[in-house]
Structure formats: C-alpha cells, structure tokens
Structure 1
C-alpha cells in the first residue's frame, strides 16, 4: 500500500508558532521532488510538543496541500487510547489516507495491553492503520508475534508497520507470519537498503526532509532491484543519515532545511535546542557529500 521514500515531515515554526505558509511550501517541494507519501506529526514533526489544536492543524494543512497527489499518513498515536482515537477521528475529517500509531510510551504496557490498545483503535477507525515500533523512544516494544496477531485479527485495517527496532531479523519473521502483502517499512534510513532485500518496501525517513530527490532516486533503484545503483546512492547519503542525529533530532534536519530554503527557520521547541556548531559542521559536510549544496 505504501512504498518508496516517505519523509516524516519536520514542522516549521516561526516566532514560536506553527508556520503554515512554510509548511505548505514544504509539502509542495517534497511532492515535486519525488516523495511517494507524507507523514505529518511523526517524531521528526515534534508531535510531542505540539498541542492538540496544532496537531490537527498540521495534518489538515498537509492533506489540503497534497490534495490527493500522494498519500498522507497522519501521526495519531498516544499513550492514552482515547486520545489516540480522537486523533484518528480528526485525521479522517482532515482528509488523511491512513494513520500512524506509535506504541504507547511511558505507560509500558505488555503485549496483552498492546493487543488490547491497537484492537480497540482498529475496531473504531475508518482509516487504515500503520503500526509504529520505536522502542528506543517508547521503551515499549511491539514484538513480532503481536504484529502478526494484530494483522491476523484486522487484515484490512492494520495493514502496515514502520519498524525502528533496529532488528532486521524481524522483517523475515513478520513476512513469514503476516504474509507478503503486509506492508513493512523501515524507520531507520541507514538500514533501508538491507530492509529491501529482506522484504521491506520503503522507509519513513528523516533524511528525505533534506534530500527528497536523492532519497526518492535511491528508493526507486532499490524497489527495482537495482542494488548496484542503490548501494552507490546509499553510500552518498549515508553521512547525511548519520548527520541527522549528530544532535537530538530534528535540530540537524531543521538546520539543513534553513540552509536550503530562505522560507525555513531552524527553530525547534524545548527541550530540543538548535543544532550546535559541531553539529552544523557535520551536516554541512554531509550535505556536500550527498550533492545537495
């Protein structure tokens, strides 16, 4: 259902507020440069520091501006099941095509709790659901057997997984258990090439914020099975993948975007702070290697 280069969109701020004008320009730039879908209000979008009104405003602006040109997968997860359901309903009203639901964080539910949480939401959502497993941030880990069971229970509703566990063996386990039509996407740019070989079909990417054209071309080569070309492109992009996390994300990505566009500010929200001088130097060097400056 989803494949290729899918940026987890950064959210532009100006004077402390959501900069909708810049965001709409950003959506157009992403689509014009080959991004195959868009994810507003993900981790890179600083969803943790958006209030609810801003959260829904960002999703609506993304859906309106994309206007059906590419799918919009709206971040709608929460560690409160009822809040997640509210976000899902608002995303549907806004025109999103699917929702991305992160594992509940802080509460630390077990696998039984995860099954209950996602089942409750699947029963009440009219939009397709992409699970999002990122235990490095949430502590909670959606194990493969839970992913497989959720897809078995809701094959037409829980249709995809963004996997940022870092464990590539899970791609094979989940493919064998859930079947080849269950969509698996990487959540880690540096692992995307290996993920294609094992059965993933794309990546929800940080780097694609900054290098959408190059990322789209890399993913097109990998999707076509042209691994020689994909490997060469991956090596040009790899320093940029690493640089996106040289300081806490999304500060490096926002700094890079401010270098590329005069309408983009590097502003982040506390407790994230702007990119350090050392971080800027690393981003600058990586952008040169990638050929985007």
Structure 2
C-alpha cells in the first residue's frame, strides 16, 4: 500500500450535547471526497482520539469505511502508551475495515529508541494492518529519530512515516529512506510544501479539514515539481495555517468547522476558542471560502 498526496487528519464533530454528530461526520467525509482528498485519518490527535469511548471509535471508523467505500485509503489512529494495547487497538481497527494504522510514538512513557523499534515491530507483526509511523514529539514527549526510522523502514508491514518535526534537515534525512515500499509524509502544514518540493510523498494535514481542495491543489503542484505555483499557493494558505496555531490543535480548526456547520465544540480538557481569537476566526473563514472556491475551479479545469 502506498499512502500519498493530500491526506486529512479528520476532526471529530460533536453536537451541542457533546455527543458524536454522525450527520456532520458524514457531511465532512463527503466534502473531503468531493474536494479530492486522497486518504483520511480517523481518530488521530486532531480527532480527539483520547476523548473517544470505544463504541464511538467503532462508530466513527465503521461509518468512514462504509461511506468512503474503497475510494481512498482510511487510516485509523491506533497508537497508545502501551504496546499490547496498541496491538489490540490496531486489530480492532482492522476488524472495522481500516486500510492502515497511523501509530503515534507511545505518549508520556518516553521509551528509548530501542524500545521504539521493539514497539513498532511488535505492532507491525501482530496488529493485522500496515503501519504508518507517526512522530510528533511536541505532543508525546519522545522523538523518533531518523536512524530509528531507518531500522524500521525495511519491515514489510511498515509503510511509511508521518513526520511532524518542522525541520528541513530532519525531512532530508528521512527522504533518503524513501523507496517503493516506504513513504515519507509531512505532518506539519506550514512546512508541507517545502517537504514535498524536496521529495516527500504528501502531507497528513489539519488545515485540509477546512481547505481540502486547496491542499489537494498544493500537493499536486508540489509533487509535480511546479515550485513557483506551489509556493505561491502556500503563501496564500499561510494565514490559515497561522490561525490554526493560535491555540492547541484541534481548537482552532474546530472553530472553523463550527462556522461551516460541522460540529459544536470539543471535549474537556480542551475548551472552545478564546474570545480574543473570534474575530480572527471569522476573518479566516472568509479566506477559506475564497481560496476553496478558486481551488475547486482550478482542479475542475
């Protein structure tokens, strides 16, 4: 399996009562497919996986698999702080029809690099799904180093890495590991264009929840080597990405989704967007609408 292009780390919509909003979830999935998103991630960190009950996780993933119906890959977030639990969650995702598992480094416990190698090999061996490594040390407290990724890249069921460290040298080191069976994906929206122009296979994006057509267009331009056009679009996306960083993810993106009628808030300990950012949210919504209209027209041409 090759995961590439514009991939959305989906937010999880809730209703005003704080329950899953399945209608909004289905509309979000439909919008992604219509805009040309090339894979989706269910129950990742943007999807507030840690706040989901098992039955909710099952409902989200089952609904996504049924609605996508094989048109694009569905990745399930399955990474937990313990290896045995991660294997169990990955098997759960496999039974629900996921195509691959996005497995974050074990949060909080801070294993050694040798422990990370043992963890990922065990999940790949026993979890019943292809595994995409996911490194986001700012959230987990542990950094999956490029030399450790190199130790794992040869495993037949480890299909790539999502790298969220926004460092060109880090990305260059990982790109040397790319081959037909191992993809390198950016996990950082502000530097995704640079990464793809350097050879990355795509991006797993937060911003593409609200600008899916624009991120598909960005990926197409960058991966086809059209540097000037890609960088120009990247500059226009920058204010949107900047807004998405004003508070912890997914607070800002869910504020924008709420303005689009796709959900009503978050689960504690995450709280709604601060009042001081509400004007910026409205202004960003205007940018989103204009850029998406242009990008949809461009993709359709």
CA shift at 1:42, angstroms?
Answer: 0.7
1:86 — aligned with what? Answer: 88
* CA–CA separation in structure 1 for the residues paired with 2:219 and 2:277: 26
CA shift at 1:170, angstroms?
Answer: 2.1
For the 8 Å contact 1:246–1:282, the answer to whether it is kept is: no
* CA–CA separation in structure 2 for the residues paired with 1:170 and 1:180: 20
2:48 — aligned with what? Answer: 46
* CA–CA separation in structure 1 for the residues paired with 2:45 and 2:74: 15
* CA–CA separation in structure 1 for the residues paired with 2:181 and 2:83: 27
Structure 1 residue 124 corresponds to structure 2 residue 126: yes
Q: Higher mean Cα deviation, 196-205 or 39-48?
A: 196-205
2:280 — aligned with what? Answer: 282
For the 8 Å contact 1:266–1:274, the answer to whether it is kept is: no
CA shift at 1:215, angstroms?
Answer: 1.2
- How many residue pairs get matched? 289
Question: Are residues 198 and 180 of structure 1, via their aligned partners in 2, closer, same or farther at CA, if it must alter by over 3 Å?
Answer: farther
The C-alpha deviation readout for 1:61-105, integer Å capped at 9, x for no partner, is: 111111111110110100011111111111111111110000001
Q: Higher mean Cα deviation, 275-284 or 79-88?
A: 275-284
Question: Are residues 175 and 218 of structure 1, via their aligned partners in 2, closer, same or farther at CA, if it must alter by over 3 Å?
Answer: closer
Instruction: Compute the TM-score of the two structures, normalised by the length of structure 1.
Output: 0.94
CA shift at 1:110, angstroms?
Answer: 0.5
CA shift at 1:125, angstroms?
Answer: 2.7
1:236 — aligned with what? Answer: 236
The C-alpha deviation readout for 1:123-152, integer Å capped at 9, x for no partner, is: 113321100000000011111111110112
Counterparts of residues 156-171 of structure 1 (less than 5 Å) = 156-171=156-171
1:147 — aligned with what? Answer: 149
* CA–CA separation in structure 2 for the residues paired with 1:181 and 1:280: 44
CA shift at 1:181, angstroms?
Answer: 4.7
Structure 2 runs not aligned, ≥5 long: 293-301
Counterparts of residues 41-120 of structure 1 (less than 5 Å) = 41-120=43-122
1:193 — aligned with what? Answer: 193
1:269 — aligned with what? Answer: 267
* CA–CA separation in structure 1 for the residues paired with 2:229 and 2:254: 28
CA shift at 1:292, angstroms?
Answer: 4.8
Instruction: Compute the TM-score of the two structures, normalised by the length of structure 2.
Output: 0.92
For the 8 Å contact 1:252–1:280, the answer to whether it is kept is: no
* CA–CA separation in structure 2 for the residues paired with 1:272 and 1:177: 36
2:297 — aligned with what? Answer: none
CA shift at 1:55, angstroms?
Answer: 1.8
CA shift at 1:288, angstroms?
Answer: 2.8
Of the candidates 124, 134, 137, which is equivalent to residue 135 of structure 1?
137
RMSD, aligned α-carbons: 1.5
* DSSP-derived class of the 1:38 partner: strand
2:34 — aligned with what? Answer: 32
Question: Are residues 292 and 265 of structure 1, via their aligned partners in 2, closer, same or farther at CA, if it must alter by over 3 Å?
Answer: farther
CA shift at 1:224, angstroms?
Answer: 1.2
Structure 1 runs not aligned, ≥5 long: none
